[in-house]
């Protein structure tokens, strides 16, 4: 991660967005459907490491990585080389027509690293939502049951089934119904907002009791959970919660699906966020985002008997595991295997957490600092209460953007700022980004 083609520094020389971005945005609004949003309409021309360069020449510190995608850094040289080589050799066959080796290589590496002492297999797709859809298909086929359960504050995608699995109506579902049925929403372990002192086991009993009364364990095909919630606001469940759910699903023949789309692939300092809780043993994992340095590819990895439960031809898609995306994924996964990447995520936590805690001590609107590795967040409240403070988040995000730090909001109440920096980021850039945030807090 040492050589950078773009100076790793923040540089703002125009108003934000700059004049060229404004010009492009005017045209975009005429050409692109308005349902496609834009958190910060600066038009990006190139990127490298942890820096984005816009068409006006401004340089932003990227604290979002395209929502946790360019985890090993923008235009990582290994990924660039693998993609360039692959694109000149073979771009498509459709793996289910005539196969190629790189698809199998991606599966083999994921199988090797998914936790759990059982035989694993994988299948590849294009997006996180598609992986979630396929995990549910396989769980239903395997169990011959129809019902699935998800958690409050969850996010699983934008397809019809995954819209029904998300928690928030706005912006994901409003007006887009009718929705898929057989989806039950359960209370999540949310330590900051749960009754004081509630343990993970107690939070699990709350969810399980609801499910047993409302649906019946024997009707349940799958329980789908993000081991650390992403869009919902980086909630890390109370210790014991994930393990208790795991014990219960396994005792009742329910397929446990860990949605690792946002928290997985080195982001939290382990291959998978699920590994943080001993005794939490997912049967299937959905994997996407950070797997291929920005190329679109996703996976379902899990127990061989569940992965094999579909008849041949039941699982697939034209572009799933495309050769170019697969080549990028092999490069990323091999770089993680080579060492140093997981350690870097933990190092980022060791730099950022103390500073975020320091800000919490100074500013009463910060209710909680949470997350793991390079997946950290601040939840904002009205001082002395649990009332969500989304106005503070809006103002702070704007301040950061104006000053060349790309941060993202999150949370059911829009009151969370999340940090998903690239693991190629230097300590200097992290401190610089946090200085800008601190300045914004002082100004509020
Ligand atoms: N599961 C846990 O975080 C995607 C959404 C961006 P896709 N999260 C970012 C947006 O506004 O559309 C996500 C996730 C978890 C599934 C998904 C869906 O992944 O690749 O966006 O389909």
Q: What is the CATH number of the domain that holds 54?
A: 3.90.1150.10
Q: What percent of the chain has pLDDT over 90?
A: 99
Q: Is residue 5 part of a domain?
A: no
**Same domain, yes or no: 294 and 187:** yes
**Same domain, yes or no: 99 and 153:** yes
Whole-model pTM over 0.85: yes
**Same domain, yes or no: 255 and 397:** no
Across-strand partners of 72? none
Instruction: Report the chain's mean pLDDT, rounded to a whole number.
Output: 98
Is the per-residue pLDDT at 1 higher than 90?
Answer: no
Q: Is residue 300 part of a domain?
A: yes
**CA gap 292, 332 in Å, rounded:** 6
Residues 110 and 333: beta-carbon distance below 8 Å = yes
**Same domain, yes or no: 55 and 32:** yes
361, burial (CB in 10 Å: exposed 0-12, middle 13-18, buried 19+)? exposed
Across-strand partners of 151? 186
**CA gap 403, 396 in Å, rounded:** 11
How do residues 268-287 score in pLDDT, each as one tens digit?
999 999 999 999 999 999 99
Out of 338, 359, 378, pick the residue that ends a domain: 338
**CA gap 233, 410 in Å, rounded:** 5
**Same domain, yes or no: 30 and 96:** no
Phi then psi for residue 375, to 5 deg, are -130, 85
Our count of domains for the chain comes to 2
Q: Which residue has the tokens 């946090």?
A: 434
Residue 186 is encoded by which pair of tokens?
Answer: 């359960």
**Same domain, yes or no: 243 and 282:** yes
Decide: 134 in ligand 1 pocket, CB within 6 A.
no
Is the per-residue pLDDT at 437 higher than 50?
Answer: yes
**CA gap 425, 96 in Å, rounded:** 39
Instruction: Give the mean model confidence (pLDDT) for residues 172-187.
Output: 98
**CA gap 77, 417 in Å, rounded:** 30
Instruction: Give the mean model confidence (pLDDT) for residues 365-372.
Output: 98
pLDDT at 3: 82
Q: Is residue 331 part of a domain?
A: yes
Domain that holds residue 372: 19-62+341-443
**Same domain, yes or no: 284 and 360:** no
Phi then psi for residue 248, to 5 deg, are -70, -45
Decide: 65 in ligand 1 pocket, CB within 6 A.
no
**Same domain, yes or no: 88 and 206:** yes
Pocket test for ligand 1, best of 132, 153, 231, 274 (most atoms within 8 A of CB): 231
Please give the distance, rounded to the nearest whole angstrom, from the Cα atom of residue 378 to the centre of ligand 1. 20
Out of 322, 338, 354, pick the residue that ends a domain: 338
DSSP per residue, 419-434? E---TT--HHHHHHHH
DSSP per residue, 56-82? TS-EEEESSHHHHT-TT-BT-HHHHHH
Atom number in ligand 1 closest to CA 230: 3
Confidence of residue 2 (pLDDT cuts 50, 70, 90): low
Decide: 156 in ligand 1 pocket, CB within 6 A.
yes
**Same domain, yes or no: 313 and 439:** no
Decide: 288 in ligand 1 pocket, CB within 6 A.
yes
User: Residues 157, 221, 270, 120: is their CA dihedral positive or negative?
Assistant: negative
Continuous H helices in 4-146: 19-31, 65-68, 77-89, 101-113, 128-143
Instruction: Give the mean model confidence (pLDDT) for residues 30-47.
Output: 97
Q: How far is CA 250 from the centre of its chain?
A: 25
Among protein residues, the one whose CA lies closest to atom 6 of ligand 1: 67
Pocket test for ligand 1, best of 157, 167, 227 (most atoms within 8 A of CB): 157
Kind of pairing between the strands at 147-151 and 220-225: parallel
**Same domain, yes or no: 269 and 309:** yes
**Same domain, yes or no: 269 and 140:** yes
Decide: 67 in ligand 1 pocket, CB within 6 A.
yes
Q: 190-203: string of b/e by CB count within 10 Å (b at 16+)? A: bbebbeeebbbbbb
**Same domain, yes or no: 367 and 429:** yes
């Amino acid at each position: 991660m040492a050589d950078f083609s773009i100076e790793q520094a923040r540089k703002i020389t125009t108003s934000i967005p700059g004049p060229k971005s404004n010009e492009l945005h005017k045209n975009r609004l005429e050409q692109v459907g308005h349902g496609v949003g834009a958190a910060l309409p600066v038009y990006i021309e190139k990127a490298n490491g942890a820096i984005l360069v816009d068409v006006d020449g401004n340089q932003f510190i990227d604290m979002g990585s395209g929502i946790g995608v360019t985890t090993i850094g923008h235009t990582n040289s290994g990924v660039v080389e693998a993609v360039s080589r692959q694109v000149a050799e073979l771009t498509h066959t459709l793996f289910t027509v005539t196969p190629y080796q790189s698809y199998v290589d991606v599966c083999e590496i994921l199988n090797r690293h998914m936790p759990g002492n059982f035989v694993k297999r994988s299948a590849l797709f294009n997006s996180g939502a598609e992986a979630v859809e396929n995990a549910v298909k396989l769980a239903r086929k395997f169990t011959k049951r129809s019902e699935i359960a998800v958690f409050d504050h969850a996010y699983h995608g934008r397809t019809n089934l995954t819209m029904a699995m998300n928690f928030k109506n706005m912006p994901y579902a409003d007006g887009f119904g009718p929705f898929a049925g057989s989806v039950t929403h359960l209370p999540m372990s949310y330590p900051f907002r749960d009754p004081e002192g509630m343990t993970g086991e107690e939070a699990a009993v709350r969810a399980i009791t609801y499910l047993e009364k409302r649906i019946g364990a024997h009707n349940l095909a799958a329980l789908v959970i993000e081991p650390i919630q992403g869009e919902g606001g980086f909630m890390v469940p109370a210790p014991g919660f994930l393990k208790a759910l795991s014990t219960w699903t396994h005792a009742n023949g329910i397929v446990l699906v860990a949605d690792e789309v946002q928290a997985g692939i080195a982001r939290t300092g382990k291959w998978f966020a699920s590994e943080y809780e001993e005794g939490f043993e997912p049967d299937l994992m959905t994997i996407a985002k950070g797997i291929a340095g920005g190329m679109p590819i996703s996976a379902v990895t899990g127990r061989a008997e569940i992965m094999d439960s579909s008849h041949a031809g039941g699982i697939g898609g034209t572009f799933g595991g495309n050769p170019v995306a697969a080549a990028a994924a092999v490069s990323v996964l091999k770089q993680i295997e080579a060492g140093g990447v997981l350690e870097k995520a933990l190092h980022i936590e060791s730099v950022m957490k103390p500073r975020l805690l320091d800000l919490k001590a100074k500013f009463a609107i910060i209710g909680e600092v949470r997350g793991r590795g390079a997946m950290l967040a601040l939840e904002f409240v009205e001082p002395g209460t649990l009332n969500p403070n989304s106005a503070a988040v809006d103002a702070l995000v704007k301040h950061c953007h104006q000053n060349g730090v790309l941060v993202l909001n999150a949370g059911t109440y829009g009151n969370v700022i999340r940090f998903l920096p690239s693991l190629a980021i230097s300590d200097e850039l992290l401190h610089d980004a946090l200085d800008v945030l601190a300045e914004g807090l002082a100004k509020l």
